[in-house]
Structure 1
Amino acid sequence: MTTPVRRSLRRRCLAGAAFVLSFAAMPALAQSFDCAKAATPAEKTVCASAGLRSADEQMAQTYADLLGYSAPGDRDSVLKAQTAWLTQRDKACADKAKADVCAAAYDRRTEEMAESLRTAQKRIGAIVAGIPKDPKGAAAALARYEGAAAKAWLVYLYHSGTVAVPDRQGEVRRLVAEVIDTGLPKNDPYLLEEIRNLGDVAGGPAENMLMFLRHVLSLTDLEAPCFLFTKHGQPAFEAFGPFWGSTRDATPEVCHDVKSVYDLPEWKKLATHLDPAIAPALDERGSIRIGYERQFMIDALQASLVPSTLLEAPHSAEARKMAETRTKAAAAFHAWKDFDLWPEAQVKAAKAALPSAIAATSKLYREKFGLAANIADQAARAAGDRFIASRLALLMPDD
């Protein structure tokens, strides 16, 4: 993980009192009120408690997210429900001495909206799943939504040329600007900084567009579907790999409908000789371990879904650095001498188990993917390097 460790990102970022949406279709109720201007008894109760202020901000962000994920026909009902709740809130929170009653009201409303949000996100996910079969239909459906994730998927469809639109770059720039200006939480400067660091997404390479999509999806419960990886190969695996070196790397999730090549018995046997040394090293990394585990997951996905891409050269500077680290770790495996970290008996057993794992993988690549024998052998060895190197890097000193 060569990118500096960042602060952890909460799954549902809180927007803060200054959170503002400029979507014309979204009412002012989407923003948390300013405590400097608190006027009603309920507002004064909320502003007198840090816990209630936090609850109000979280509720406001969840409400804004729910509107963004709601189809036009559903937004009026969301607005009416929120208006009705605010009336209830004003009664529940009028008495400062009953702050617990006020807090319970916020908790119930936020959980109700969170459940609706999960349902709404599933609808977006279903639209996205239909992209390979009907990209134009998916684009038309996504265009009905105001949320950042729908716009990010439109950026993907237009930038990749999957759906043709007049003035493609202009349309992509408009969507990216709307996501940055109105679709992301303003109290997350790190994420905004990294998205801005991508530069002109519309005129940039596919890698930047995919990274933009990855960053936006990281704020949702949506996953990166398998077709992203089968279509875009190495750039997609790089974009959705470890980036932050912290708990941020837990999202977005990636496609699960793939049986891992590392579940072969031969790899399982090798893991029994390596995992006992790796487990303590992972624990010592704290939250950084999530970045390492993300790399394990991406390596398994790449080796199992599009194994030929294991032989491609890295695209990004970060990926090239990671490839250099893997090369060093693979070499260290064959010359391992630090038996205090990894006992000699386990090292020898792992080395003895590796050829069988590579042979079984090569056979799978020939039979399932139709790779020529020499390519299958090379890809299988590359899969072995990934498996060994990403784990052994935990035992090696940082550069």
Structure 2
Amino acid sequence: MARSSWILGSALALCLLPLSADAQTPDCTKATSAADRTVCASPDLKVAAEDVATTLRDVLDNTPSTDRDAVQRAQQAFLTERERTCADKSTIAACQKLYEKRSADLANQNTAAQKKLSTLVAGIPKDPKAVAAALQRYDGAAAKAWLVYLYHSGAVPAADKEDRVRKMVAAVIDNGLPNDPYLLEEMKNLGDVATAPTGTMLLFLRHVLSTTEMDAPCFLFTKHGQPAFEAFGAFWGNSRDESPGLCTPPSSIFDLPEWKKIADRMDPAIEPALEERGSIRYGYERQFEVDDLQASLVPSTLLEAPQSTEARKMAEQRQKAVAAFRAWKDFNVWPEADYKAAVAALPSAIAATAKVYREKFNLLPQVADQAARAAGDRFLAGRLGLIMPDD
């Protein structure tokens, strides 16, 4: 059945309780009921109906099978009201409002369901087996992706690990994602996730979470370090890099007043550049967000060599940006007075960072100094890359 020929067909097929034939979106060449004919008479209503179907499917996917009765009852009530409200073509406006309200209600339910799923996932470090058992009651891509993580990482042992992972990856790619050809292509390009390195598995998880409202939790980064920071860094170089969201560290190293002082001297030159960069800005902003997280959560990983090809290229670009900072001459873009003030403030910022790394993260003095300088490079490169000329 074509997607345009159903409102609730595939979504309601997920329900545990059977719904009447009136629950199905009409084939508009064969519409029989008054409500069906009203929907078929309005292109806007057809779109609204698809929105309800899609969001309902998401709610069911993100709700454990044991908790779906309330969703089913609400949908039955909506369908009953639909028959009354959408009785003829003169009621199109009222019918549209009904669909919009149902779509909004389902969107709120989906947000709440994903918050509960996120809370469940947050328990992985404490009891991964219990979380895996709970995730089995979900049908959606997010739950399957987290099961892939649990089995692949070995957090939950399984004799048939590779076979399980392959089946869940296939289910996600074939049936669990929005119709996004770019995303699907990238996920297929990952190859055999079951036997791939940790970084590839984490990239698979990142792609799935990008289709949800769920954030990447901090334990991914504290446990996996460099591969996690690379997997959740800038990937697309456009607005797609806005998701998934990242966890918020207990405190940001770049919130230190010493770094704020430097930012005050750099940001006036950065803001116009962000606008000029268009959608590419999202890639820069994403990478800086990851750099901040890395410097604030697991600073020792700042000294590790990049693992992926993309990360090595980014490290090379960072080196160029730092070199440009040390020899900056384009004072039309970044005024000389601000540049010199930033240079003068940098040693204090690095010293304050090294102190935090010694006292909070128990890094040896030499390692803390090196990590602090690496954090400084991230801070400078993340901003300066926006105003440097492209190669």
Shorter chain as denominator, the TM-score bin is over 0.9
Q: 1:216 aligns with which of 208, 212, 226?
A: 208
- Opposite residue 142 of structure 2, the aligned amino acid is A
Displacement after TM superposition at 1:320 (Å): 1.1
2:177 match: 184
> What CA deviation, in whole Å up to 9, does each residue of 1:236-272 have, x standing for no partner?
1111112122222221111114210000010000001
Matched residues, percent identical? Answer: 62
SS at match of 1:224: coil
Preserved CA contact (<8 Å) 1:226 1:255:
yes
Residues 346-388 of structure 1 show CA distances to partners (whole Å, capped at 9, x for unaligned) of 1111111111111111111111111111111111111011000
2:51 is equivalent to residue 58 of structure 1: yes
Pairs within 5 Å for 1:1-399:
21=10, 25-26=14-15, 34-35=27-28, 38-185=31-178, 187-399=179-391
TM-score by length of 1: 0.91
Which fold has the larger relative contact order, with Cα–Cα distance below 8 Å and residues 6 or more apart in sequence?
1
Q: For the Cα contact (< 8 Å) 2:152–2:201, is it kept in 1? A: yes
Q: Distance in 1 between matches of 2:73 and 2:194?
A: 38
The 1:41/1:287 distance shift into structure 2, 3 A limit, reads farther
In 2, the alpha carbon distance for the partners of 1:326 and 1:31 equals: 55
CA distance in 2, matches of 1:43, 1:252: 38
Classify 1:357/1:56 alpha carbon distance in 2 versus 1 (closer, same or farther; 3 Å).
same
Measured in 2, the distance between the counterparts of 1:277 and 1:17 equals: 52
Single out whichever of 113-122 and 99-108 deviates more from structure 2.
113-122
Q: Distance in 1 between matches of 2:62 and 2:161?
A: 24
List runs of 5+ in structure 2 lacking aligned partners.
Answer: none
* Greater mean alpha carbon deviation, residues 106-115 or residues 225-234: 106-115
Whole-angstrom CA distance in 1 between matches of 2:40 and 2:197: 47
SS class of match (1:51): helix
Measure how far apart 1:94 and its partner are.
Answer: 2.9
Q: In angstroms, what is the RMSD of aligned CA positions?
A: 2.1
| Residue-by-residue CA offset, 1:58-81 (whole Å, 9 max, x unaligned) | 111110011111122222332232
Amino acid at match of 2:122: A
Once residues 300 and 34 of structure 1 are traced to their aligned partners in structure 2, the CA distance between those partners, rounded to angstroms, is: 52
State the partner residue of 1:7. none
1:12-65 superposed Cα distances (whole Å, 9 cap, x missing partner): xxx765797599754797986554554433333333333222211111111001
**How far is 1:333 from its partner?**
0.5
2-structure distance, mates of 1:64, 1:374: 54
**Residue 32 of structure 1 contacts residue 57 of structure 1 at CA under 8 Å; is this kept in 2?**
no
Q: CA deviation at 1:97?
A: 2.7
Is the Cα–Cα contact under 8 Å of residues 22 and 182 in structure 1 kept in the other structure? no
**Aligned counterparts of 1:23 and 1:97: Cα–Cα separation in 2:** 28
Q: TM-score, normalised by structure 2?
A: 0.93
Between Structure 1 and Structure 2, how many residues are aligned?
384
Contact 1:23 1:146 in 2 (8 A): no
Residues 69-78 or 307-316, more deviating: 69-78
Alpha carbons of 1:245 and 1:382: their partners in 2 closer, same or farther (altered >3 Å)?
same
Q: Partners of 1:36 and 1:397 in 2: how far apart? A: 58
